[in-house]
Structure 1
Amino acid sequence: MNYYIGVDLGTSSMKLILLDEEGQIRKTVSKTYPSAFPRPGWSEQNPEDWRGALMEGIPELLEDLESGQVAGIGCGGQMHGLVILDEKDQVIRPAILWNDGRTTKQTEALNDGIGRKKLEEWTANVAFAGFTAPKLLWLKEEEPEHYGRIAKIMLPKDYINYILTGVHACDYSDASGTLLLDVKEKRWSSQMLEACGVRESQLPRLWESFQCIGTVQSEIARVLGLPQGVKVAAGAGDNAAAAIGTGIIGDGGCNISLGTSGTVFVSSKAFPANPNPAIHTFAHADGGYHLLGCMLSAASCNRWFMEDILRTEDYASEQLAIAEKRLGKNPVYFLPYLMGERSPIEDMNARGTFIGMRMDTTRADLVQAVLEGVAFAIRDNLEAVKRTGIVLESSRICGGGAKSVLWRRILANVLNIPLQCLQSEQGPALGGAMLAMAACDGGVSLEEICRKCVRTGETILPEPWLAEAYEDRYQRFQKIYPACRNLFTELA
């Protein structure tokens, strides 16, 4: 029996899973590490903490296993982070993470100086503060002594792969989020490298996510208790790895994640024509492409309202108070822009807003409005994807918010498509293990691996009467943000 290790390098912890060749998860391990916030809006981590989590986590994962059976390792990880190494491959400074907000000036310089149209032409995307290229420009301006020492520029999960193999490698899906990749042609963009003052020799070699970049180094294998010759897959960015873990590959596959943030991930074999730059166009881990809509506050809106405003953690009781007759008829609306918004409106000044309250508005109405507001914002992203010509007939759904029966029902009817749940969710870690499986056996397709490893559960079907009621409410919801946009700017 062969086994495959999947690694999810998350923002707060590293999750490792052990997957057998039959697609069964045998064990999971989690290791936490700290983040640092040197200034308001800054977010950093020490890559050596990731190394520690890896070196502790894998031996723990293999405690009850004949380690000689491990065949491969694959990693999915937090995107956009900037890891810089010197000529001796030593980390120069802490990694600047995806959720770091220090690069507003550099982001504006890229979008306004180079121009959004040229950026889209060169990279298929425009600049966002979280992307890697603005971080490099910030480093060049604010820490020139560090910038001048850079020998290699890496992404977080690529540093894990470097620890294992000694190889500087990056896959296309993760590279898509740097704003340094020509996504359509799958090569580093010479125009963007010149604009950022980066030499191609400073960047890692590019691979497909399912390709083997090398094997675990002998000394590292000995310390981890692994056999010699364990293959390491290139891996993927967290969203693409999670999509593999939910079986979203090929044309028109869709996964909606109702987590702290919310994502709409749609796969495509061909490079999609995308008219909305706030919807990201990235390479996918299956060798094709994907569109990604990312909203900054999803299940976190519900957590905020439950715990910070209502001062309760009894989510179920609050939702039970929502009357059946109020579904599709709630007069209260909620804009879920508590942290501004990324996709599809691209407005960091936008804010959360309740509208439509009256003297007879109840606590349950407000709880319902929050659930519906997030669902409407996800619908906004889905509509933006549809405008590319992609036809979506159904979607899979995952994330903590998807555990709510009521929220799943609301979402299925707001979107008016069937939503398929998963029996278990292991996120990017499962996707990483599946990519490792593909890297170890080039004769097995990702389609076959998905059939073996991804197990689906209940499907929630839209109800015609409720879908019609929510269609009317969605049309009204769409009018609220445009009416408030200028006010949000003034308030900012």
Structure 2
Amino acid sequence: MLYIGIDLGTSSVKLLLMDAAGNVKNIVSREYPLYFPNPGWSEQKPEDWYKETMQGLKELLEGFPKEEVAGISFGGQMHGLVILDDKDEVIRPAILWNDGRTTEECDYLNNEIGKETLSEYTANISFTGFTAPKILWVKNKEPENFARIKKIMLPKDYLAYKLTGEHCTDVSDASGMLLLDVKNRCWSKEMCEICGITTDMLPKLYESYECVGTVLPEIAKELGLSENVKVAAGAGDNAAAAVATGTVGDGKCNISLGTSGTIFISSAKFGVDKHNALHAFCDANGAYHLMGCMLSAASCNKWWMDEIIGTKDYKKEQEAITKLGENHVYYLPYLMGERSPYNNPNARATFIGMTMDTTRADMTQAVLEGVAFALRDSFEVAKTLGIPIERTKICGGGAKSPLWKKIIANVLNIKVDVLETEEGPSLGGAMLAAVACGEYKNVESAAAAIVKVVDTVEPDPELAAKYEARYQQFKNIYPACKDLFDKII
């Protein structure tokens, strides 16, 4: 049988076709626009997601036996607010995960409702990217739209609705809404009251590997599929990527170098970092995970290469970098503000340390190292919880760079396992579909059968020591700049 994974990303939707053994048969990507109506705002049109997904499905299946497709599932950009009216029509463009407009609402939630109260209700505090403050923003700034809300959903769930007619979500993605009682895997009635909504406005909750329905007859006809094709709930992009990298079970780690950057640590038990610097979420395996999320990771390198240097030859630029651990230039990777561990939408990207002998290669190296140092910020929080992490998997577009993997291995001073297939959330979605269809007993057995490590990047003691000294300098830069960031916004 064949299984489809749909990764609804920020810049494009990536669709993957996988057979029962986990072999990738085809991959298709379709781009759609990203809108910035005001500085710090970030929106997309859900209709664009659906249009490009349907076109992508047609391209994906061309030349393959469509009758063998048994299941579809998702990985998706988290936290985005999609609101529908009583006719299930989209009310306004979706407000995305990297949107920073909700500073006032976050201040209200964290300071007036209180961080301790939020943590008690949801295991997390409010961040500007989360869904609950977006709901409050619509309530405060667009009351006419707020009054029309019948259903609230997340980006990938809009696709699930369009394919099945079901209003559904999964617990991993819902964990990032600040509306879920994460420990008990149910909606928080208290948070709904705070946001002025009711639980019936929210979609039905599922585990990521559970079937939410089958494709609608008209969808099946348009795509040439059986009406018996099952659709599983899927997972937030990082939880789906964790499935694809085999980061399921207790104490395993994955780093994702996508548009955003994350460090993901799976845990059999529920736990909360006392400062809420890391997110405490449900995972796609029926358990929990801790996650540190930085808003700009590989996107920092893309910005530097495309917009500043003006080149698409990323590999050539990195070939000029030869002196690791000795760079005197530092870069704070806060192009869209920052989430973990600082929770500061006013933070900004910053270069510091340039001199007359600074080269283009130094600047490029600083960008790569700055992302690695920022990942370590979250890594350090995890270590304070007593979680021993000796190795990590890695995925995402940035993981295709051998140099960046070497930098990360030495900045974090851990082994970095390289996978045979680095397809991230799209592969994770296909694996969840296979579990939903009974191809595998559970997510762990699917990961054990499908995920293969083909190389390990080991830290070099001498280089790791150099980066240790550099990190000790790096971690002083944000505190020194924090007040300035607040003043220049």
- TM-score class normalised by the smaller sequence: over 0.9
The answer to whether 1:429 aligns with 2:412 is: no
- Residues 124 and 303 from structure 1, CA distance in 2 versus in 1: closer, same or farther, beyond 3 angstroms? same
Instruction: Indicate the larger mover: 332-341 or 180-189.
Output: 332-341
> Normalising to structure 1: TM-score of the pair?
0.93
Partner of 1:331: 328
Task: Kindly report which structure 2 residues correspond to 1:290-369, keeping only aligned pairs within 5 A, or say none.
Answer: 290-323=289-322, 326-369=323-366
The answer to whether 1:419 aligns with 2:435 is: no
Counterpart AA for 1:93: R
Secondary structure of 2:476's partner?
helix
The equivalent position to 2:488 in structure 1, one of 467, 487, 491, is 491
Cα distance, 1:248 vs structure 2: 1.0
Counterpart AA for 1:374: V
Counterpart AA for 2:337: G
Partner of 2:95: 96
Distance, in Å, in 2 between the alignment partners of 1:483 and 1:149 is 45
Partner of 2:255: 256
The answer to whether 1:453 aligns with 2:469 is: no
- Retained in 2: the 8 A contact 1:409–1:460? yes
Partner of 1:438: 435
CA offset digits 1:114-137 (Å, max 9, x no partner)? 011111111111111221111211
Cα distance, 1:442 vs structure 2: 7.2
Partner of 2:152: 153
The alignment covers a number of residue pairs equal to: 489
The equivalent position to 1:401 in structure 2, one of 380, 398, 403, is 398
Instruction: Indicate the larger mover: 247-256 or 473-482.
Output: 473-482
Cα distance, 1:31 vs structure 2: 2.4
Partner of 2:107: 108
The answer to whether 1:77 aligns with 2:76 is: yes
Counterpart AA for 1:278: A
Secondary structure of 1:467's partner?
helix
Partner of 1:125: 124
CA offset digits 1:240-295 (Å, max 9, x no partner)? 11111111111111111223321111111111231232321111111111111111
Secondary structure of 1:251's partner?
coil
Cα distance, 1:412 vs structure 2: 0.8
Partner of 1:144: 143
Cα distance, 1:397 vs structure 2: 1.4
- Residues 336 and 86 from structure 1, CA distance in 2 versus in 1: closer, same or farther, beyond 3 angstroms? closer
Partner of 2:222: 223
Partner of 2:478: 481
Partner of 1:378: 375
Distance, in Å, in 2 between the alignment partners of 1:367 and 1:220 is 46
Distance, in Å, in 1 between the alignment partners of 2:268 and 2:448 is 18
- Residues 420 and 145 from structure 1, CA distance in 2 versus in 1: closer, same or farther, beyond 3 angstroms? same
- Retained in 2: the 8 A contact 1:272–1:388? no
The equivalent position to 2:385 in structure 1, one of 384, 388, 391, is 388
- Residues 218 and 128 from structure 1, CA distance in 2 versus in 1: closer, same or farther, beyond 3 angstroms? same
- Retained in 1: the 8 A contact 2:277–2:381? no
Question: Which runs of 5 or more structure 1 residues have no equivalent in the other structure?
Answer: none
The percentage of counterpart residues that share the same residue type is: 60
Task: Kindly report which structure 2 residues correspond to 1:135-284, keeping only aligned pairs within 5 A, or say none.
Answer: 135-284=134-283
- Residues 478 and 92 from structure 1, CA distance in 2 versus in 1: closer, same or farther, beyond 3 angstroms? closer
Instruction: Indicate the larger mover: 183-192 or 405-414.
Output: 405-414
Cα distance, 1:433 vs structure 2: 0.7
- Residues 384 and 89 from structure 1, CA distance in 2 versus in 1: closer, same or farther, beyond 3 angstroms? same
- Residues 443 and 7 from structure 1, CA distance in 2 versus in 1: closer, same or farther, beyond 3 angstroms? closer
Distance, in Å, in 2 between the alignment partners of 1:5 and 1:45 is 24
Cα distance, 1:14 vs structure 2: 1.8
- Retained in 2: the 8 A contact 1:275–1:387? no
Distance, in Å, in 2 between the alignment partners of 1:261 and 1:143 is 28
- Retained in 1: the 8 A contact 2:98–2:129? yes
Distance, in Å, in 2 between the alignment partners of 1:91 and 1:458 is 45
Secondary structure of 1:34's partner?
coil
Cα distance, 1:358 vs structure 2: 4.1
Distance, in Å, in 1 between the alignment partners of 2:101 and 2:253 is 32
Secondary structure of 1:425's partner?
coil
- Residues 353 and 24 from structure 1, CA distance in 2 versus in 1: closer, same or farther, beyond 3 angstroms? same
Distance, in Å, in 1 between the alignment partners of 2:358 and 2:39 is 37
Cα distance, 1:158 vs structure 2: 1.2
Cα distance, 1:311 vs structure 2: 4.1
- Retained in 1: the 8 A contact 2:123–2:280? yes
- Retained in 2: the 8 A contact 1:276–1:344? no
Cα distance, 1:458 vs structure 2: 1.7
Distance, in Å, in 2 between the alignment partners of 1:218 and 1:444 is 28
Cα distance, 1:344 vs structure 2: 1.1
Secondary structure of 1:419's partner?
strand
Counterpart AA for 2:395: C
Instruction: Indicate the larger mover: 69-78 or 344-353.
Output: 344-353
Counterpart AA for 2:346: N
- Residues 331 and 233 from structure 1, CA distance in 2 versus in 1: closer, same or farther, beyond 3 angstroms? same
- Retained in 1: the 8 A contact 2:238–2:256? no
- Residues 47 and 478 from structure 1, CA distance in 2 versus in 1: closer, same or farther, beyond 3 angstroms? closer
Cα distance, 1:199 vs structure 2: 1.0
- Residues 205 and 310 from structure 1, CA distance in 2 versus in 1: closer, same or farther, beyond 3 angstroms? closer
> Normalising to structure 2: TM-score of the pair?
0.94
- Retained in 2: the 8 A contact 1:333–1:354? yes
Secondary structure of 2:265's partner?
strand
Counterpart AA for 1:229: N
Distance, in Å, in 2 between the alignment partners of 1:14 and 1:209 is 19
- Residues 422 and 144 from structure 1, CA distance in 2 versus in 1: closer, same or farther, beyond 3 angstroms? same
CA offset digits 1:310-338 (Å, max 9, x no partner)? 44444434433333xx3323333333333
- Residues 415 and 196 from structure 1, CA distance in 2 versus in 1: closer, same or farther, beyond 3 angstroms? same
The answer to whether 1:472 aligns with 2:462 is: no
CA RMSD of aligned residues (A): 2.1
Counterpart AA for 1:258: L
Distance, in Å, in 1 between the alignment partners of 2:22 and 2:419 is 14
Cα distance, 1:145 vs structure 2: 2.5
Distance, in Å, in 2 between the alignment partners of 1:362 and 1:66 is 53
Distance, in Å, in 1 between the alignment partners of 2:142 and 2:329 is 49
